[in-house]
Structure 1
């Protein structure tokens, strides 16, 4: 239990800024990868290393950062993460060689590993009930907006100037670090005990069926997002419909609109129909949308399927985050949410590999149907498992 609630409720723009910085690592660099590879005289094979260098540290570092946040307090961990990310971002923008760029990207991955989960944890520390669900949903909506707008921003800057200047917005992490240090109260756990006691307590919490279910669900959802939607659908659009890069970009951006609408209003939706109903409905939408993508004979139906998919995406991710926050005791909240992020990153890593193996051996349509089948398994887990049961029966509260 925290010794005391923070004296000041942190401003939402600060929390949302932390979330937006967390996704700058890949969303800003994606459009300029060909430019930086050409400038640093590296072949196309280097693109995978550029992306993986940020993603890889999170699988291991995120749970450790969660443990530290529970032991030392949120501010003491968040601020160094922001400083590392911002400073490494400047180093990446100025990197004279590809090796230095990769080293900077790896450091960015260490800093970024704690940002999204700590933003969610801070929301969980200061709000409860419907208001917490609402804010986690709006935080997810901000993330979706950032994912849609940052590539456009960096692409325009790179066209007008250079890829190095396009990456400089990452330095904003240093500004937010100062802001967080001045605004967040240095609240520390009342008694974290020894490291052994902390780990033993966390081990007990991690054995809860609800925690196990939310971790498995997070892994599966991100496996589907990165393996089926992001890795398989673009190839499906090219192979089956002959759509070029511009058209694929438009179709792949459709879910950002519907996902933002749902995530922004998630608190209201969850209050009206219940968390469990939201989980079931969103999972059913995944089954239907992936099936429609695989079966659609015309591109218009694929676009409709993408819009449906966004509805499920906009509900599933924040509601799972909210469930992880709700089910975790305050003294282990940072570690539990970080473990959820670690599971999500594992799904993010495995999804494209499994999908690529399947559509190489069969077809993109088969892979999309396989995604629907996996979503169906997740639906069974949600229907028979513990997710959302206790949260729906708990009274909604909010801290002043």
Structure 2
């Protein structure tokens, strides 16, 4: 299937009308991908995929008291959710290459919804941490499978646009659910977990409606040790650099998510509802950033420069957020963090899908997502440790601000360098993998 002839029509086949015109202005000439029913199911799943972090992040400080734990320890609710992905995502991704995307996606959504909603039934912090681990395991069958499925359907600029549209759906979800969570936690601290029930009907839709983009047999493509196999791609140093670089934006984003409520609440005097609005604004920025990925890939010859620049934008926003002295500044810099994150993450995901053919794509995408989850998991643990060590020396506020600022500076430098290497990996992959579409 070529990028020009994939589902939804040709590369520039958007029909007329105000809606089509708006989509073209937002996403570019490939925006007609939204007419494909299979892609629409992927968009529905994309609304669910970010809820594991967006529902819990803005209410973390509000949960510390009811659960009887410190602000630093309540961050385990974020780490517990991301931890299973480090090991499980590559296995689940390889499984989806063999048995198909649909059963893995449906099962992941069901576990995600049931485990997440069950947290509303207990007040035991240890039980909630365990349920978050199970919910994180469910996520391993959602996010990476959605990303790989887009790569199955499209290629080239069309694939990049589709990833941007999908991430816009993620961003809109991120803009809505933090606000709902912030409002619900004020009424009863367990209510935000009930929002995860939304995953159950989506799992049913996947089972009933989703048309499998591809089903790569175990014997397809090169042999298990060949250059085009998963392990063959992992032996390429530039591919490894691209996968490691994928972790940096996730680290910076989770640094923001973990301390968004602390900065806006404890340091700036905002309520949980205000924290939800700030996270929602950052998420809206991420949605808008993701819409421009198709245009960026069309405007540049390679992926390196866009990856480096948007990584710097994310780091600049995080630094500004860490130094914010008012809620207005915090809100503005949060939007910058989101815009940078949404763009660079979508670019990375589009880049990684172009580094393997259909027989290894699910596995390689899943390895990238696993590395990304490693960054997500490490952020609350690393920053929490630094703040805990620094607080007795310079005070809690100074320790928090210096930690966030240092994270932003170091993350920008490392992320920009790895982004340039990732761009080289994508160029070296050549037209045989990306521009001609799945094989």
Normalised by the length of structure 2, the TM-score is: 0.74
Following superposition, the deviation at residue 261 of structure 1 comes to 1.6
What does the per-residue CA deviation read over 1:219-252, in whole Å, with 9 as the maximum and x for residues that have no partner? Answer: 222222223x34567666789xx51134666555
Aligned residue number for residue 324 of structure 1: 352
Cα distance in 2 for residues equivalent to 1:237 and 1:98 = 24
Q: 1:280 to 1:178 in 2, by over 3 A?
A: same
- Kindly indicate whether residue 206 of structure 2 is the aligned counterpart of residue 168 of structure 1: no
1:335 aligns with 2:363: yes
Measured in 1, the distance between the counterparts of 2:80 and 2:109 equals 17
User: 353-362 or 374-383, which moves further after superposition?
Assistant: 353-362
What's the counterpart of residue 381 of structure 1? 418
Q: Which moved more, 1:58-67 or 1:46-55?
A: 46-55
How far did residue 280 of structure 1 move? 2.5
Q: Say whether the 8 Å CA contact 2:184–2:192 is kept in structure 1.
A: yes
> Shift in Å at residue 316 of structure 1?
0.5
Contact 1:286 1:372 in 2 (8 A): no
Classify 1:369/1:293 alpha carbon distance in 2 versus 1 (closer, same or farther; 3 Å): farther
1:371 matched residue in structure 2: 408
- Equivalent position to 1:16, from 43, 59, 66: 43
Alignment equivalent of 2:108, drawn from 68, 74, 81 = 81
Distance, in Å, in 2 between the alignment partners of 1:263 and 1:29 is: 23
Structure 1 unaligned segments of length 5 or more: list them. none
Match in the other structure for 1:65: 92
Residue 304 of structure 2 contacts residue 421 of structure 2 at CA under 8 Å; is this kept in 1?
Answer: no
Secondary structure class of the residue paired with 2:218 = coil
- Could you say which structure has the higher helix fraction? 1
CA 1:143–1:98: 2 relative to 1, 3 Å: same
1:224 corresponds to which residue? 252
Is 1:309 aligned to 2:337, yes or no? Answer: yes
Measure, in 1, the Cα distance between the counterparts of 2:244 and 2:100. Answer: 27
SS at structure 2 position matched to 1:327? coil
- 1:138–1:265 CA contact under 8 A, matched in 2: no
Residues 258-297 of structure 1 correspond to what in structure 2 (within 5 A)? 258-274=285-301, 275-290=303-318
1-structure distance, mates of 2:270, 2:69: 17
Q: Secondary structure at the match of 1:114?
A: coil
1:190 counterpart SS class: coil
- Asked whether the 8 Å contact 2:246–2:371 carries over to 1, the reply is yes
Q: CA deviation at 1:120?
A: 0.7
| Matched residues, number | 388
Distance change in 2, residues 1:81/1:288 (3 Å) = closer
The equivalent position to 1:141 in structure 2, one of 146, 153, 168, is 168
Give the secondary-structure state (helix, strand or coil) at the position aligned to 2:50: helix
Structure 2: 5+ residue stretches without partners: 9-35
- The 5 A counterparts of 1:207-222 are 207-222=235-250
Distance 2:294 2:110 in 1: 32
- Supply the distance in 2 between the matched residues of 1:383 and 1:208 (Cα, whole angstroms): 15
Alpha-carbon separation, structure 2, partners of 1:37 and 1:311: 29
Residue 167 of structure 1 deviates from its aligned partner by 3.1
Task: Tell whether 2:377 aligns with 1:349.
Answer: yes
- 1:13-62 Cα distance to aligned partner (Å, 9 max, x none): 31122122222234334566678777xx7412573454443222222111
Give the aligned partner of residue 68 of structure 2. Answer: 43
